[in-house]
């Protein structure tokens, strides 16, 4: 397992972040315990959960599974209710109760909302840290400018800054390349990515022009059949490339995400130890620049902008501004 620096916190975490959304849903507590034990044994230290997963049941499972192992993992959870101060305070207490922990390592605002009050949010997060209930705070799904505004408020008041932005990023969802990833590179914001495997579309499970497999997420998530039709030819070429490379399509999807120097830790959820082993193995697969470009060009998914000059490129440039002297050139440290 590779290890990476987490923002400017001084913490080192595993490059793989184990997602838990399927625990209590697609796999039971017994299998969850096997997965977590195997992950820890193979060097995974970074685990992400959330109160909304199975309406809190996932946190309850994790609390039982991690008994006696708390010092081996860096745990993230997220606000579930609203993003007003009362909800932020109540959510952390409820999560800690379900997790049977005194604190989490990272506490995230799960989603921004129209009309949100950044100063009240940052003050509430400061209180959570001051109370010893979270070591660090961050956000999920924040536009770059909202994260910047929030951290400016925190700096003004001497409160903890947001250290992490958890975002969807993969070969189909590439909006983060516009300003979010460049901001992370410049300011040392840890980027964790979810939907790394695009809801399973890049696992080889779904084949263009074939019937959707039964008992899969495609039965309830309409994005899967829609994207399978829209990007069918790209997915076919992607699967063929993985076969030529001698790796599983899911491993290729992970390798593509982790190739970006702005990505700290791809977040991957599994529902079996078999899937876990294949996922862990993916973190030893490095693409060459030529391979990365070839795979990227299979999908016409870069955000399109009409422009008569260089503005679109500038919004995606990872090295436009020198990185802060106090930070490494990249959040990654393998």
Question: Which are the catalytic amino acids?
Answer: 53
**311 burial level (CB within 10 Å; 0-12, 13-18, 19+):** exposed
Is 77 in a helix, a strand, or coil? Answer: strand
Q: How many CA atoms lie within 13 A of 233 on its CB side?
A: 4
* Residues with Cβ within 8 Å of residue 23, at least 6 apart in sequence: 29, 32, 35, 53, 54, 58, 61, 62
Are 280 and 248 in contact by the 8 Å Cβ rule? The answer is: no
Task: Classify the C-alpha dihedral 210-213-219-222 as positive or negative.
Answer: negative
84 - beta bridge partners? Answer: none
How far lies 234's CA from each of 155, 178, 257, 294, in Å? 45, 22, 17, 11
**Six-digit token string for 231:** 């990007």
Q: What angle do CA 202, 108, 191 make, to 5 degrees?
A: 45
CA dihedral of 14, 20, 23, 24, whole degrees rounded to 10? 150
Dist CA 120 CA 122 (whole Å): 6
Q: Which of 329, 19, 267, 305 is nearest to 175 (CA)?
A: 305
Pairing of strands 265-269, 17-19: parallel
How far apart (Å, rounded) are the C-alpha atoms in residues 251 and 110?
A: 27
CB 219 within 8 A of CB 246: no
| Alpha carbons 228 and 202: distance in angstroms, whole number | 10
């Amino acid at each position: 397992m590779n290890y990476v620096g987490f923002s400017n916190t001084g913490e080192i975490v595993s490059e793989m972040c184990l997602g838990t959304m399927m625990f209590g849903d697609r796999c039971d507590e017994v299998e969850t315990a096997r997965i977590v034990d195997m992950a820890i044994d193979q060097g995974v230290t970074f685990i992400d959960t959330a109160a909304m997963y199975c309406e809190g049941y996932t946190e309850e499972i994790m609390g039982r599974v991690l008994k006696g192992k708390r010092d081996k993992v860096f745990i993230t959870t997220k606000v579930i209710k609203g993003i007003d101060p009362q909800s932020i305070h109540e959510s952390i207490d409820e999560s800690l109760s379900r997790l049977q922990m005194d604190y989490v390592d990272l506490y995230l605002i799960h989603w921004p909302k129209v009309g949100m009050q950044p100063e009240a949010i940052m003050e509430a997060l400061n209180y959570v840290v001051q109370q010893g209930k979270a070591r660090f705070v961050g956000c999920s799904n924040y536009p770059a400018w909202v994260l910047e505004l929030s951290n400016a408020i925190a700096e003004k008041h001497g409160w903890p800054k947001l250290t992490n932005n958890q975002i969807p990023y993969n070969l189909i969802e590439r909006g983060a390349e516009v300003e979010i990833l460049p901001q992370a590179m410049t300011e040392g914001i840890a980027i964790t990515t979810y939907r790394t495997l695009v809801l399973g579309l890049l696992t080889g499970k779904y084949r263009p022009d074939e019937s959707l497999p039964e008992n899969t997420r495609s039965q309830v998530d309409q994005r899967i059949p829609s994207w399978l039709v829209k990007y069918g030819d790209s997915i076919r070429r992607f699967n063929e490339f993985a076969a030529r490379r001698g790796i599983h399509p899911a491993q290729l999807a992970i390798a593509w995400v982790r190739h970006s120097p702005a990505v700290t830790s791809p977040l991957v959820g599994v529902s079996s130890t078999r899937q876990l082993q294949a996922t862990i193995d993916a973190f030893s697969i490095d693409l060459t620049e030529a391979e990365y470009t070839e795979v990227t060009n299979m999908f016409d998914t870069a955000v399109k902008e009409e422009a008569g000059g260089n503005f679109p490129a500038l919004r995606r440039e990872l090295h436009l501004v020198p990185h802060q002297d106090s930070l490494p050139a990249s959040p990654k440290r393998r």
